[in-house]
Structure 1
Amino acid sequence: MNTEFKPYPFEARHYDARLPELVDGREQARHPVMIVGGGPVGFAIALGLAKHGVRSVLIEADESVCYGSRAICISRRSLEIIERLGALDGFLAKGLPWTGGRSFYRNDEVLHFTMPQDENQKLPPMVNLAQYHIEQFLLDAAERHADLIEIRWRTRVTAVQQDAHGATLTLATPAGDYEVRTDWLVAADGGRSTVRDALGLKLTGTSYEGRYVIVDILLDSARPTERLAYFDPASNPGSTVLVHKQPDNVWRIDYQLRDGEDAEEAVKPENVMPRVQSLLDMMGETAPWSPIWITIYKANALTLERYRHGRVLFAGDAAHLVPIFGVRGANSGIDDADNLAWKLAWVVQGRASARLLDSYSDERVFATHENLSYGTKSTEFMAPPSFAFELMRTAVLSLALAHPGVRSLINPRQTSAIAYTASPLNAVSDTLASGPAPGAVLPECPLSIFDRGSMSEGYLTDLVGPCFTALYFSANGAVPPAVDALDAAFASRDVPFRLVPLTQHEPADVTRRCGWDHTGRLFPIYGAAADTLYLVRPDGHVLGRWQGAGDTLAQRALDALDHALRA
């Protein structure tokens, strides 16, 4: 054990504050969108807007990406979103993929779980990657869109006022203070949101008493990447310990404090080091190690009631705080960004009324309550809030070794894509034998993709862009004239659109971009026969699905679009 703190094996770039052109302390330019917060959510929103051609200004109080592991697990759904944002390569090159984990009660393994992973998937169910890497890769992508994304570092929001037409921000920088106007303000400034406080808004819900010390260490170990949970271990009797391997020989350890322990004392290195050493001894790790970072965490299950307040929109931890168990925090924030970006872009560009942004709030508040429901169950098991919960947990853990039926109660229920089953945007649709219903995310499946005479192996999501997409299922790729005319009909509404034929057999016309279900799995996954049409939103959620004649399918798709953009 080396008690001297080591720096992360990562070097962040540092930036200075720069003032825009001012007149009497006010910036003369008015911006269509300003984003407060340069974390994963803020960068994802800026990138999402840029993909739709909308310019934004991002405000960040710090001078670089974050320090400390913080959010470390990125889900498959988030990776799909990040791929659309143009930042996936770094995540896959640096991140450590994993598919499951193990839980132990004292000395015995009581659970070995795996997340859904089959031959249809393009991406792993989860990758471990510290938040400083997450932010850096998103920042790198943002800097490639410098014409549409302006980042202002070392800039703090000190006041916010809004009216029916936009918001006025007072900003403080080392170079001076100034005011700036924006049509729309997005608050992605974290759990201690300055914007939320400025508007007098409060998160509501439950704060749990259980506290966890979080420690990042450097340790060279050949252990596989998986989630490890230890209940009542010899290294920390009566509490819980979580262990995650990260890139660059960084390990993240979360251990629960016992009742009555003083938090300030608990994070002092002289108290942390012996516990970490005891854990590593128990795990059989004998290599030398060094601490990097220590902090403390308290589980919260809190949310705003609405995520749109006039011209101000909230996302990520500024909108909701979700317990870390099940890794829903950053992942739910990235889902917020994906949902918000296309809707805000459509409103800014005049393609939809501002009421479309109310659906962002409806859908993401619903998703938060789903996440809080699962996160609360996991939290109550990981850190029992009462004597009764503790008795229940002890009983489950004691029985799990001999009775497999109770092991599901130990499962941390990792995050997964949430269907917006009650979304106001969902179109009246046909009932199919299987497949994603309106509001659900598209399931993945491998395809042979034909484009301008060439063929390549790919996946269904490769055919879905930052636009509305119609997936037309047919026997050989032939498209009815009415469905083919959707291109012109969407263009007349000034709505970006893509029509993608999907075929059961090798297509007759290989000059047109289409997908061939060469595995025979796609059509059954979607419950599709010939003459089936799915209309997909820019965020990959299904808007509607229908079967029938071409003119009927085309009309129903147009009706669904008009309803969504005027909802």
Structure 2
Amino acid sequence: MEFKTYPFTAKKYAGQVPKLDNGIETKRHAVTIVGGGPVGLAVALGLANHGVPSVLIEADDSVCYGSRAICISRRSLEIIERLGAVDGFLKTGLPWAGGRSFYRDTEVLHFTMPQDDNQKLPPMVNLAQYHIEQFLLDAAQQKSELIDIRWQTKVTAIESRADGATLRLSTPEGDYSLNTDWVVACDGGRSTIREALGLQLKGTSYEGRYVIVDIELDSDRPTERLAYFDPSSNPGSTVLVHKQPDNVWRIDYQLRDGEDAEQAVKPENVMPRVQSLLDMMGEHGAWAPIWITIYKANALTLESYRHERVLFGGDAAHLVPIFGVRGANSGIDDADNLAWKLAFVVRGLASEGLLDSYSDERVFAAHENLSYGTKSTEFMAPPSFAFELMRKAVLGLAIKHERVRSLINPRQTSAIAYTASPLNTPEAQSGAFEAGPAPGAVLTECSLTIVERGNARAAHLTDLITPRFTALHFSEDGRIPVEFAELEATLQEKKLPFKLIPVASHLHPETKSDHNWDHTGRLFAMYGARPGTVYLVRPDGHVLGRWHAAAAANVAAAIHHALQM
């Protein structure tokens, strides 16, 4: 059987060598990003949103091949929308909201992810990594004046110092060195930067191995996550199936103990198992393989993501098991957290201590992701005989007992709240909130009406969040107190990105200023808000502080505290 090719064709890019003086680039750069995958591209786009230029170094000559990361969460879509790249994700990606798990030939779980009228974006979309990278790359190329992408460029050495770093680079056109104030290492699980600095990921590596196969298959089966435990096609193991765009299907199946990995990925051994699976699923259409690889689950992280002027993100910082789709999504969250903080430091708006909070928050998030990922991994690929017995018992009981089925739940990724972040403004005991996102949490989505220059349009709360600090001021009529208007003017004079946004509980035609109207009546209740309530939101959409009877001084102090860590 011959291999098909992906419907997507990657464009090849040539490397380049800049102007040099004795083998050293004449220009010193503010930020150099190593790695042009989803995380590196997201960091570059995030910096560009703040007007900060970067050089992005990529060893390859195109976006990747193979599906790799395929599930993009709602939280990631919110981030990607702020980066200006979401249209392709929504146009091409296949949305889904749940999935099914089977034990042998019996369905034992049908789960759904949160989805209601308040939501703007789907809980998850399936999209192969080559599409993900291409859509982010397309957006980056629209900002070429701020994002300098250098293909076919490999890092061969790094000299890190307290005031920056020197990178030694190799290209087909010749080698050279580059000086930079900051390095962002997004160069994957085999990070050259991490190895050069002598850093090691710590945690657990699992023995269970999975063969990953992409196939082309035309099917009208709905898009959902499918998991098969001890199926007839691969007895004693687990199989995962995801439908992707362009009639591409991703199949992950577990190898049995003792199977040779080198033999397992040979087409003559893969094809019969895939055919057996498709027969079991009732898929009888013609199909062809596209890509085969092998995967081993790791739950590993660096202890710190900042090392002087070098910052780590994505797989260079942590390796998360694929179960629960936390890999690429956690990397995109890294990029979102880091980009605004690094931009504020580069622009002289914040102290370098702000970058320590990046490490604090994202290491905490990594441990949360690893905890959930580990639970899912131990169920999907039991690491011991005891775990195997437990799984068999749960799956057997789940056939007849609904209460047991929650133990099979794959625990799909969700936004992580930085509840212990040093940036958070502590809440006063008096005037406590009865509802709404607390400091460190992301905004809860809700539909509303935006009124601009007398014109009203349907929108969502996340539409109001752009790369800046945002203060949501709740009132009856949308009028802004004078002291808040003065604060906004003062911060803008200091070139600090800040916007005060009024949210009204009622539509008042006589209110001439732009405002936003809670037309459903849900927003105020969801946020525990009343007239005078203020939510202060970070550029990455996390709540920094909230007050019921806020003064402008409260908001100013919270921003100052965050930026002068």
TM-score of the aligned structures, taking structure 2 as reference length: 0.99
- Superposed displacement of residue 163, structure 1: 1.0
- Tell me whether 424-433 or 208-217 shows the greater mean CA deviation: 424-433
- Superposed displacement of residue 164, structure 1: 1.3
Give the alignment partner of residue 79 of structure 2, picking from 78, 81, 92: 81
Matched-pair contact (CA < 8 Å) for 2:479–2:511: no
The separation in 2 between residues aligned to 1:182 and 1:403, in whole angstroms, is 60
- Superposed displacement of residue 491, structure 1: 2.2
Give the partner amino acid of 1:537.
R
Matched-pair contact (CA < 8 Å) for 1:105–1:397: yes
- Superposed displacement of residue 509, structure 1: 4.8
SS in 1 for 2:438: coil
CA-to-partner distance for each residue in 1:56-107, whole Å, 9 max, x for gaps? 0000000000000000000000000000000000000000000000000000
Matched-pair contact (CA < 8 Å) for 1:449–1:514: yes
Give the partner amino acid of 1:533.
V
Give the partner amino acid of 2:317.
A
Give the alignment partner of residue 316 of structure 1, picking from 311, 314, 317: 314
1:517 is matched with which residue? Answer: 518
The separation in 2 between residues aligned to 1:27 and 1:484, in whole angstroms, is 46
1:150 is matched with which residue? Answer: 148
The separation in 1 between residues aligned to 2:184 and 2:359, in whole angstroms, is 13
The separation in 2 between residues aligned to 1:368 and 1:218, in whole angstroms, is 34
SS in 1 for 2:26: strand
1:480 is matched with which residue? Answer: 481
The separation in 2 between residues aligned to 1:97 and 1:64, in whole angstroms, is 26
Give the partner amino acid of 2:14.
D
Matched-pair contact (CA < 8 Å) for 1:454–1:510: no
1:254 is matched with which residue? Answer: 252
The separation in 2 between residues aligned to 1:383 and 1:458, in whole angstroms, is 43
Alignment of 1:339 onto 2:337: yes
2:350 is matched with which residue? Answer: 352
CA-to-partner distance for each residue in 1:94-141, whole Å, 9 max, x for gaps? 000000000000000000000010100000000000000000000000
The separation in 2 between residues aligned to 1:451 and 1:418, in whole angstroms, is 33
The separation in 2 between residues aligned to 1:40 and 1:109, in whole angstroms, is 35
Superposed counterparts of 1:164-563, under 5 Å: 164-430=162-428, 431-509=432-510, 511-548=512-549, 552-563=550-561
- Superposed displacement of residue 480, structure 1: 1.5
Give the partner amino acid of 1:125.
P
Matched-pair contact (CA < 8 Å) for 1:353–1:565: yes
Give the partner amino acid of 2:64.
C
The separation in 1 between residues aligned to 2:419 and 2:392, in whole angstroms, is 36
Q: Which runs of 5+ in 2 are unaligned?
A: none
Matched-pair contact (CA < 8 Å) for 1:547–1:553: no
The separation in 2 between residues aligned to 1:187 and 1:118, in whole angstroms, is 38
Give the partner amino acid of 1:458.
A
SS in 2 for 1:365: helix
Give the partner amino acid of 1:126.
M
Give the partner amino acid of 1:531.
G
SS in 2 for 1:540: coil
SS in 2 for 1:485: helix
Give the partner amino acid of 2:476.
A
Matched-pair contact (CA < 8 Å) for 1:451–1:511: no
Q: Which runs of 5+ in 1 are unaligned?
A: none
- Superposed displacement of residue 510, structure 1: 5.1
The separation in 1 between residues aligned to 2:490 and 2:399, in whole angstroms, is 61
Matched-pair contact (CA < 8 Å) for 2:479–2:513: no
1:22 is matched with which residue? Answer: 20
The separation in 2 between residues aligned to 1:11 and 1:324, in whole angstroms, is 26
Alignment of 1:46 onto 2:44: yes
- Superposed displacement of residue 508, structure 1: 4.0
The separation in 1 between residues aligned to 2:508 and 2:189, in whole angstroms, is 52
- Superposed displacement of residue 428, structure 1: 1.7
The separation in 2 between residues aligned to 1:296 and 1:516, in whole angstroms, is 52
SS in 1 for 2:378: helix
User: Percent of pairs identical after alignment?
Assistant: 73
SS in 1 for 2:56: strand
Matched-pair contact (CA < 8 Å) for 1:476–1:508: no
Give the alignment partner of residue 70 of structure 1, picking from 68, 71, 78: 68
CA-to-partner distance for each residue in 1:195-248, whole Å, 9 max, x for gaps? 000100000000000000000000000000000000000000000000000000
SS in 2 for 1:281: helix
The separation in 1 between residues aligned to 2:389 and 2:169, in whole angstroms, is 51
Give the partner amino acid of 2:524.
F
The separation in 2 between residues aligned to 1:26 and 1:530, in whole angstroms, is 59
The separation in 2 between residues aligned to 1:437 and 1:493, in whole angstroms, is 28
Matched-pair contact (CA < 8 Å) for 1:477–1:509: no
- Superposed displacement of residue 553, structure 1: 2.2
CA-to-partner distance for each residue in 1:503-531, whole Å, 9 max, x for gaps? 11003455423210000010011010111
Give the partner amino acid of 1:563.
H
Matched-pair contact (CA < 8 Å) for 2:244–2:250: yes
SS in 1 for 2:28: strand
CA-to-partner distance for each residue in 1:287-341, whole Å, 9 max, x for gaps? 0000000000000000000000000000000000000000000000000000000
Give the partner amino acid of 2:310.
V
The separation in 1 between residues aligned to 2:291 and 2:446, in whole angstroms, is 41
SS in 1 for 2:158: strand
- Superposed displacement of residue 495, structure 1: 1.1
Alignment size in residue pairs = 562
CA-to-partner distance for each residue in 1:425-464, whole Å, 9 max, x for gaps? 0002242010000000001111110011111110111111
